[in-house]
Every structure is written in structure tokens, then in C-alpha cells.
Structure 1
């Protein structure tokens, strides 16, 4: 099972489709060996070192990064998620984002954002028209080993997010304190 890693005042909340069997078994998001998530964080400049999935619980304090999914149920593939799960997940996610108010909601995969925003066409990057006011929404490529996008192209998209995070840090953003 995967628990959300959320706290008020996060700089980025990474939002996935749902937990994979590997992530569910380990308790760490993006844990499958073929998943590029942590490599992309590092190569884009979002983290200074390449972290293993087991470092995930510390990323909130170290960087102000949180984690959640639009659907909680574990599946091998996102296409196994039922329509009613998407509908319920969209509402639950809106409630979570409204409660925790991250500066940036990063949707890891166009499909995640399409389900959340109920839009059929979206582009990668920051969205001009956001679902929730006062929150930046960023659409990033999926990181699963099933995604057939060139790693350099994926990295360039994540670099746009890294630049914004760096701007926020220069303006004084600090990760939230945990009790």
C-alpha cells in the first residue's frame, strides 16, 4: 500500500495515476526498476543527487516534494482503472489539493491531468487555465517503463519545472517543517 506524502506548504506535489504492484509492495512511489521518475528528477535538476525510491519519505523535508495519486487502487496498468474510480479520484484529488495547497501540482503523465481536468487535449508544461485558482499546474511526461519517450526529451520537460522550483527557492521558499 502507498500512503500519500502530503503537508501544507509544499513546493510540488507529484501526482501519478495509481500505485503499481511494485510500488504497493515496497510502499514507495515509482519504485519499479524500469521507472524513470527518480532519474528524471536528478537529470532535470529537481534533486542534486540520484535518490533511490526508499528516500521518498524524506523528500518532503529535503525538497518540499509531496506525492499522491489520482486513484488509490493498485493495478499493473492505468487502463485497468474503472471509469467510476476516475470520477471519484478526481474529486478526492481536488479536495486534497484544496486542503494542502501546494505551490505546484505536477501531473506525472498527460492522462492523469486529462482525467483530473476533464480535458481531452493538453500539452506538457505549465497550464494557462488551471482547475484550482492560485495553484500552478504542470503536466509532465509519465515515467513508467511503458512510456516510449526519449529520456532527453522527458528531461527537457522536467527542466521547465526545475527552473520554476529554483525561482521559488531564490524567492525564499523553504520546505515545510514537520511535527
Structure 2
């Protein structure tokens, strides 16, 4: 499977961070492309984008001060396939990206992503008490995966809180 390129630039408002690209994203070359993934719907519903982008429009995010990367670049069917060594390397690479690009907010798309990045056992959604990279606020939203049991209105509330911070 081919890797999905980051959508990233310096001084973004928000850099969204996922586990890794899924198989559908690898097939299409675009982020959050899974049929049941709610990422694009959540961005539009929170007014972070002017309408609901399709995954193939992910490059347009930069115009709105938004970007996407992952803690692990290698695509897989599930995050369970990511190895400890990949997470270890990914932590270093992600920290370097945050230091280099300095987004206002590093938004982790799922509690598990932040848990892997920080190695904290207990993580909750919302603003994190301390950030990993000085000058970059850490925020966690529920995973937008279709497998998430959190209902859409609860997910949306976190994206709306995030929007209120950056606008």
C-alpha cells in the first residue's frame, strides 16, 4: 500500500493527527477516506470548513489553516497492526514535525493516538493540561472512525470547542 502524503505547512491553526492511513486512504491517496469515517462531516458541521469536503479535497485544508498527519505513516487495515517500533519511531517524527511546523493546536483524532504519542495511560478528550511541544496546545477529539461508539453530537461538541479556540 502506498503512503498518504501529509497535508502540512508552517503555522497552521490546527494540525489533525491520526493513527495511520487506512486501506481506503492508501488506495485513494487521501486522508480519512474510509466510507464510514465522519472526519469530513465533523469539520463541516463545526464550521471548520465551509462545506463538507470529500477526501480527495484534503489539499484544500491548508487554505483554512488546517492540516493532517499521522503518528505512523504506514497504511494498514487497522491501528492494531501498528508495531511498538513503529510507534516509537513515529513519536520522534511527530514531535519533530510539531517543532518544525508549530501549529497553534495539535489535535489528536482519538484518545488512543494521544495515548501512543505521550505514553500516558489515562487520556480524556478535550484540552490537555500540558502540551508535549512548548507553544503548541494539545487537544484530543474522539476518533472519527465509523467504529467509534460516541454519538455524532458528542463528537461534534469537541470539534466546536476546538473551533472556538482558533477563530
Instruction: With the length of structure 2 as denominator, give the TM-score of the two structures.
Output: 0.96
Q: Which residue of 1 aligns with 2:125?
A: 124
Q: Distance in 2 between matches of 1:115 and 1:126?
A: 17
Q: What is the SS of the residue equivalent to 2:37? A: coil
Q: What is the SS of the residue equivalent to 2:163? A: helix
Q: Distance in 2 between matches of 1:108 and 1:154?
A: 11
Q: What pairs with 1:160-179 in structure 2 (closer than 5 Å)?
A: 160-166=161-167
Verify: 1:152 aligned to 2:153, yes or no: yes
What is the root-mean-square deviation in Å for CA atoms of aligned residues? 0.9
Deviations 1:49-75 (A, max 9, x none): 1111111111102x0111100001111
The alignment covers a number of residue pairs equal to 165
Q: Distance in 1 between matches of 2:88 and 2:24?
A: 25
Q: What is the deviation of 1:45?
A: 2.0
Q: What is the deviation of 1:162?
A: 1.0
Identify which of 44, 47, 50 aligns with 2:49: 47
Q: What is the deviation of 1:112?
A: 0.5
Q: Distance in 1 between matches of 2:118 and 2:45?
A: 28
Deviations 1:72-113 (A, max 9, x none): 111111111111111110011001110111111000000100
Q: What is the SS of the residue equivalent to 2:68? A: strand
Q: Which residue of 1 aligns with 2:115?
A: 114
Q: What is the deviation of 1:48?
A: 2.2
Identify which of 10, 34, 37 aligns with 1:35: 37
